[in-house]
Copies of this chain bind each other. A is one copy, B any other.
Amino acid sequence: MIVLFTDFGWQDPYVGQLKAVLAEAAPGVAVIDLLHAVPDFNAHAGAHLLAALVQAFPAGSVFLCVVDPGVGSPRQALVVAADGRWFVGPDNGLISVVAARAQEARYWRIDWRPEQLSASFHGRDLFAPIAAGIAMGPFPDDKLSSVAAPEVSFDPTDLARIVYLDHYGNAWTGIRGVLLGEVDAIELKGQHLGRRSAFHEAAKGEAFWYVNSVGLVEVAVNRGNAAAQLGLKVGDPVRLTSPQGGLH
């Protein structure tokens, strides 16, 4: 299974061109569009989203990850093996959080370059052929060099900021719910929000937070739009409130 994780957007012809390469180079392999709406150019938010989203995918999945504002610059190209899953993309931190949190991670630099390499679309020209090669096997050793670590790494601890706004207006944070323990309130844009276990437990129009289906703290409004109601945007900071009322 090849899984796409990009900021290409759905409406543009970028995803289709990339899939045409995969269809030729990895015929019969399932291709899953996981997310093409990583906040534009935002490898940092993307790194935390990716780390949360991959957990449900089977070993052997190949993630083609492209949030690449430095395309065409000397930034390196990377392959990562982390807990049995594969990741291919730019060495700009995007893959670093999922790798740092894994029990086991290995890294390779992509040395190979295609005959025709555009200056602006390495997703299609460089990363897709490598991802297809890994999915089809054998592992393309001849195109890669083992390295000890990526060149760019983000802090892998939880990110207490909004990292994604979905189309309902729900706001995902980079905080994993499993680590929260006794925390029962969060502060966001000056408002304290209580915890609910599911949407129907909140009154219609009430803002709350819960641990969402990929394990992240998410701010939502029951049958409403939290982003609009609270004026949220990606990057807004979130504070956790302990039961004693203190703030972390």
Contact = CB atoms under 8 A, between A and B. Distances in A.
A10 to B, nearest CB: 5
A19 interface: yes
Interface residues of A, number: 55
Contact of A32 (B19, B49, B72, B199): B19
Interface in A1-25: 1, 3-4, 9-17, 19-20, 23-24
A27 interface: yes
Contacts of A73: 198, 200
Interface in A31-46: 32-37, 40-41
Nearest to A34: B16
Contact of A20 (B32, B121, B198, B213): B32
B23 A37 contact: no
Contacts of A213: 17, 118-121, 124-125
B200 A13 contact: no
A223 B199 CA distance: 36
Nearest to A122: B213
Contacts of A125: 213
Given A3-B16, A34-B16, A56-B17, A9 B167 contact: yes
Given A3-B20, A27-B30, A223-B69, A198 B12 contact: no
A245 interface: no
Contacts of A121: 212-213
Contact of A72 (B57, B124, B197): B197
A70 interface: yes
25 contacts: A1-B20, A1-B23, A1-B24, A9-B167, A11-B37, A11-B166, A12-B35, A12-B166, A13-B214, A16-B34, A17-B53, A17-B56, A17-B213, A19-B32, A20-B57, A23-B32, A71-B198, A72-B198, A72-B199, A72-B201, A118-B212, A119-B198, A120-B199, A120-B213, A124-B213
